[in-house]
Amino acid sequence: MGYPKTAKYLTIAFGLIVLTIGLFIAFEDQLFTKNNAKELVEEQGIILTDEFDLFKNESFSAIGDYYHTFTLEISERDRQAAILKIKSSKDFHTSKDVIDNHPYNHDRYFGPKVIWNYENAYCYVREYFQPSGQKGYAPTFRRISISKTKNELTFEDIEE
């Protein structure tokens, strides 16, 4: 079109944008911080007041799928508070109720959001499920598990 300098600058700018996005995707796990973890946990109503350690963080992506999990070592006080929050919820279930009425068995695209609190042999669990509201888009499904024997909290974000 007769503007070689403009084309050169636009090419460099586009290249830098693509490179930045590529580096962010490649180093996503390394850029994840304790503050990011705390925000995700607190979105589910589990409040962490004491110091904690982020000792495992992994994410996996494939076409149409995304899975992110991290494990925190939390204080005994935060662990007990989280367990109490789960057990005192109005919809708390024991493991025998979970299989038949699990919210992930519902419509993936339309319907209300569901928060499911239960315990199994190993942990106390809070699951959050929100349909996407649109066919073809993954619902939001997040699970927080609090160990019965260790001061560990595991967070999972699953999009299929």
Quick: pLDDT tens for 7-31: 888 888 989 888 877 766 666 556 6
Report residue 92: phi and psi, to 5°.
-70, 135
Enumerate residue ranges in the chain where pLDDT < 50.
none
What is d(CA 73, CA 146) in angstroms, rounded to the nearest whole number? 10
pLDDT at residue 140, rounded to an integer: 81
Do 100 and 106 contact (CB within 8 A), yes or no?
no
- Rounded to a whole number of angstroms, the distance between the first and last alpha carbons of the chain is 45
pTM for the model stands at 0.74
Tokens linked to 152: 């560990």
Closest CA to 40 of 159, 160, 154: 154
Question: How does the average pLDDT of the chain come out, rounded?
Answer: 82
**To the nearest whole percent, how much of the chain has pLDDT over 70?**
82
Tokens linked to 12: 């460099």
Quick: pLDDT tens for 82-96: 999 999 888 887 765
